[in-house]
Structure 1
């Protein structure tokens, strides 16, 4: 957060023109959401940006990483800072592409239109299966089990 305010001052950008991309444990892995303002919800990076900018009123692209799995031993920070498992790594290019498209959408159409587009979920199709409208990451999250890494030690994320 310490570099955001000097960069904003240099470019004469008001807080409303700042877009911060950050991880979000309260959103399932792979989901993206746009938001303007709000609290930091314990996120140290957002707390730092808010303090350095003097306001929470900046655009946030929240990138879901999900919560630690049941039985996870350790701090939430240990989970958030741990490596992604193979299945999550495979999904990262698509997640990052959607994130970049969302930022471009904010720049082209404005925050409100981009937020409405990104945050609106399609209605489920009653003719398809119950999970048909969920991203593959949501379908897989219920199937993930605690695994060991190649060294025999458990992965901090509870997965291999």
Structure 2
């Protein structure tokens, strides 16, 4: 079945079954491979995208549930929070293997769009469920604090 979804600001046609996870439509049909497959059960956060501006696990959202809500992937992420997070990630040398980082960045940006000066607890709650096999959690937290300061928080 053909679905028309808005991805990174553009209407895109995707010919997949209604129950196909959004992740597979993005990666396989649209060749947007920045969003990663991790666990397939919405527990690791590697597949995090924005749906209607909110972070969701794209492996657990069927394409039929997207509706008219816009999808933003790591490839389309923009704005001051995104720039601040990306700069802080580089400055703190956050990634090791890098596999989880698109989901980590998406979750960090979502947090900073809602909480301008997050506490450690705010960060832990927002990033809960984003698993980093390399265990760079201390650098992630520090980078989020750095990004918040850059943004005036």
**TM-score higher than 0.5:** no
TM-score (norm 2): 0.29
TM-score (norm 1): 0.29
Determine which structure has more spread, i.e. the larger CA radius of gyration: 1
